[in-house]
Structure 1
Amino acid sequence: MLFSDIVGHDDTKQTLVRAVQTNHLAHALLFDGRAGSANLALALALATYVNCETRSGSGDEGGLFGATAAALEAPLSDGCGRCSSCMKMSRLVHPDLHMVYPVANLGKGKNTSEAVLPEWRKFLIDNPYRTLSDWLDATGGENKQGNIAAEEARNILQKLSLKAYEGAYKIMLIWLPELMNVASANALLKVLEEPPERTLFLLVTNQPDKLLVTILSRAQRVAVRNFTDTEVATHLRQTLNLDETRARRLAYLTDGNLAQALKMGQTKSDDTVGDQHAWFADWMRACYRQDLNWLVKQADQFDALPKDRQKGLFDYSLRLCRDLFLFQQGATQLLRLPDDELKFVQNFGKILRPDLIDRMVGDLNEAAYHIERNARPKMVLLDLSLTFARLIKN
């Protein structure tokens, strides 16, 4: 992965490049961006860049530091993509690149990053804009929870105790460190406090609020913004050869989530968001009608869905509640909805009080938490449905 492979984000790329050229690169960087952003891609591009043997446009080809003022004003520097280091990084087989990521416990010793490394390499090489649910699906753990186990802590310490094999840096890339258990998080904290020489930590997170405060304090945050509609549409046209109209529509629907846009672009229609909207609209109408038989059947169907699909439906419900609130406050210019969803928001928003929407958001967040903690989905949704039916009636 090179910086030039990532659409947009020129300011972030330039900041990272200049940090390397001026010898101001922190030993630990926290790439903070939401799911579907460029945070993982930027981390991989930086890992390629720092160990490239002949970086282009850096002003110090073949060297690591000492960039001149003229070099800093030159076009964006990048890895060459041709040297031995870049070629190995493109296949994720560089001996100084170590990666840790969440794994579902699949049994037979397949509960560590090392055990599923071939699958991980293929997963990232195919597309670096991926989500946790994509990764669990790819490894057969779609109905399980991914986490970074305590055994990973020992692996991290063991790998970092060795000197760099051939690159300027040893690189430890940790994807979604917020899913570390307590033992792993404490081990990471210890090594961040006393980092080995010439070691670079790249932490890629979607939820930094779930990380230990002490870990946050020892890493330099790199804020990764969402993709713009133009960037998403450009990437879809380049990679999937979509026409301009469909690429623009997918960009609009996914609101900067390139992972979701790519997934929808590979299907024949935009069914993912459409199905979620139909599910939510039917749910709210049944709550309004107090149709208990329908709500019980819906809870049974919800119970049979994969966990990531259940979470996706709750995420969509929360997003539409936000849109309902914006509509009630007169901020319709902030709504990013296609016609059918906008019409639903306009009609349903007329019968809900703002304080009711606030209560619904709180209940949805609590329900999502219980699903995350392995509560029975059928009971969670049915309880939520009965609560909403009562609130809407009153």
Structure 2
Amino acid sequence: MQFSEIIGQEETKQMLLRAVQTNHLAHALLFDGPEGSANLALALAMAQYVNCEDKQPQDACGRCASCIKIQKLVHPDLHMVFPVANLAKGKNSEAYLTDWRKFLIDQPYRTLPNWLETMGADNKQGNISAEEARNILQKLSLKAYEGAYKIMLIWLPELMNITSANALLKVLEEPPAQTLFLLVTNQPDKLLITILSRTQRVAVRAFTDEEVATYLRQQLNLDETTARRLAYLADGNLAEALQLSRNDTASTDQHTWFAEWMRTCYRQDLISLIKQADQFDGFSKEKQKGLLEYSIRLYRDLFLWQQGAAELLRLPDNEMAFVKNFSKILTINHIERIVHDLNEATYHLERNARAKMIMLDMSLTFSRLIRV
């Protein structure tokens, strides 16, 4: 990955280039950006640039042996750690490197659900285990083979358990010589404060609509109208825009399920609510979380509509219809309570509470609120 392959982000690219060229490169960089941003792409471009054998003022050369190996993610001094699920294949990144390379080389604007689906673990939650932490320490004890730097790229370090996070902290406090840590996060608030204090933050903004549309036109040959419409709906999330461009039905399916759930709550149809709770219980963990996140987003849009901020909404027709219809039924207090309960449900779901009971409890509460 070269900087030139990344749409926009010129201010961040220049900051990274200056750090290398002026010998002010910190030993640990934290690429902090929202899901679907260029944080992982920028980290990969940085990994290629620092070990490039013929650095150019604005980019890696893309031709030397080091560049070619990093582009294929096979450079012996590039070590990568990422969340995995507890499957028979293994519990650490090494067991999934072949899948990971293929996943990432295809395109670097990826999400955790994308990766878990690729692993065949979309009904599980990914994490970075204590065993992974031991592997990190072992890898960093070795000298660099070919490059100027040993590079440790960690994708989503917020998914480290406490043991692995403490192990990372220890090595960040006493980093081996000529080692560069590239941490790529979507949720820095979930990292240990002590880890944050030992890294230099690289703030990566979301893409603009124009940048997303440009990428879709250039990479997928979409027409101007389609590219702009998808960019508008994705709201700066390039991973989401790519998902939409593949005519994926996930968003439509989510709305269909959500709309039926809300209609059933409104009818106060207990038998149907129990059936829906059973159906929800049978979904994968990531699909359950995705439905709750979708519900939260739509209720927040409903809140904005009721506050007279319709110009901030980016909604397809089916979602706008829901917002307009339910704005006649729900008060601000109702919406705040519903969003609170949805967030609580997400919290308990992540801690392995029974999905059926979570959904049924919410449904009964929402039935009372909607019909008050």
Do these two structures clear the TM 0.5 threshold for a shared fold by scoring above it?
yes
Separation (CA, whole Å) in 2 of partners of 1:153 and 1:307: 25
1:111 aligns with 2:91: yes
SS at 2:363 equivalent = helix
Unaligned runs of 5+ in 1: 59-76
Q: Find the counterpart in structure 2 of residue 158 from structure 1.
A: 138
Partner residue of 1:314 out of 285, 292, 299: 292
Q: Which amino acid in 1 is paired with 2:322?
A: F
TM superposition shift of 1:350: 2.2
Q: Find the counterpart in structure 2 of residue 135 from structure 1.
A: 115
SS at 1:159 equivalent = helix
Q: Find the counterpart in structure 1 of residue 43 from structure 2.
A: 43
Q: Deviation per CA, 1:250-303, whole angstroms, max 9, x where unpaired? A: 212221221122122123xx6322222222222222212212222222222222
Contact 2:124 2:286 in 1 (8 A): no
TM superposition shift of 1:338: 2.2
SS at 1:165 equivalent = coil
Q: Deviation per CA, 1:101-157, whole angstroms, max 9, x where unpaired? A: 11111125x111111111111111111111111111111111111111111111111
Q: Which amino acid in 2 is paired with 1:350?
A: K
TM superposition shift of 1:198: 1.2
Summarize the alignment of residues 150-229 of structure 1 with structure 2, pairs less than 5 Å apart.
150-229=130-209
TM-score normalised per structure 2: 0.97
Moved more, 333-342 or 111-120: 333-342
Q: Find the counterpart in structure 2 of residue 30 from structure 1.
A: 30
Q: Which amino acid in 2 is paired with 1:370?
A: H
TM-score normalised per structure 1: 0.91
Separation (CA, whole Å) in 2 of partners of 1:167 and 1:82: 15
Separation (CA, whole Å) in 1 of partners of 2:332 and 2:50: 51
SS at 1:342 equivalent = helix
Separation (CA, whole Å) in 2 of partners of 1:222 and 1:205: 10
Moved more, 257-266 or 317-326: 257-266
Separation (CA, whole Å) in 1 of partners of 2:207 and 2:255: 23
Separation (CA, whole Å) in 1 of partners of 2:250 and 2:88: 31
SS at 2:271 equivalent = helix
Q: Find the counterpart in structure 2 of residue 67 from structure 1.
A: none
Separation (CA, whole Å) in 2 of partners of 1:253 and 1:377: 29
Q: Which amino acid in 2 is paired with 1:380?
A: I
SS at 1:222 equivalent = strand
Separation (CA, whole Å) in 1 of partners of 2:184 and 2:146: 24
SS at 1:256 equivalent = coil
1:234 aligns with 2:193: no
Moved more, 114-123 or 247-256: 247-256
Separation (CA, whole Å) in 1 of partners of 2:156 and 2:21: 28
Q: Deviation per CA, 1:37-94, whole angstroms, max 9, x where unpaired? A: 11111100000011111112x2xxxxxxxxxxxxxxxxxx101110011000000011
Summarize the alignment of residues 261-300 of structure 1 with structure 2, pairs less than 5 Å apart.
261-267=241-247, 271-300=249-278
Separation (CA, whole Å) in 2 of partners of 1:311 and 1:229: 26
Contact 2:12 2:204 in 1 (8 A): yes
Q: Find the counterpart in structure 1 of residue 19 from structure 2.
A: 19
Partner residue of 1:91 out of 72, 88, 102: 72
Q: Find the counterpart in structure 2 of residue 342 from structure 1.
A: 320
Q: Deviation per CA, 1:191-232, whole angstroms, max 9, x where unpaired? A: 101111111111001111111110011111111111111111
TM superposition shift of 1:185: 0.5
Separation (CA, whole Å) in 1 of partners of 2:94 and 2:121: 16
Partner residue of 2:63 out of 61, 73, 82: 82
SS at 1:249 equivalent = helix
1:304 aligns with 2:285: no
Q: Find the counterpart in structure 2 of residue 371 from structure 1.
A: 349
SS at 1:385 equivalent = helix
Residues paired across the two proteins, number: 372
Q: Find the counterpart in structure 2 of residue 253 from structure 1.
A: 233
Contact 1:240 1:266 in 2 (8 A): no
SS at 1:98 equivalent = strand
Separation (CA, whole Å) in 2 of partners of 1:184 and 1:93: 24
Separation (CA, whole Å) in 2 of partners of 1:233 and 1:299: 38
SS at 2:144 equivalent = coil
Moved more, 238-247 or 365-374: 238-247
Contact 1:176 1:205 in 2 (8 A): yes
Q: Which amino acid in 1 is paired with 2:194?
A: T
Separation (CA, whole Å) in 1 of partners of 2:344 and 2:179: 40
SS at 1:173 equivalent = strand
Q: Which amino acid in 1 is paired with 2:360?
A: L
Contact 1:49 1:78 in 2 (8 A): yes
TM superposition shift of 1:321: 1.2
TM superposition shift of 1:6: 0.8
1:123 aligns with 2:103: yes
Q: Which amino acid in 2 is paired with 1:378?
A: K
Unaligned runs of 5+ in 2: none
Separation (CA, whole Å) in 2 of partners of 1:227 and 1:301: 36
RMSD: 1.3
Separation (CA, whole Å) in 2 of partners of 1:285 and 1:171: 52
SS at 1:171 equivalent = strand
Separation (CA, whole Å) in 1 of partners of 2:161 and 2:238: 28
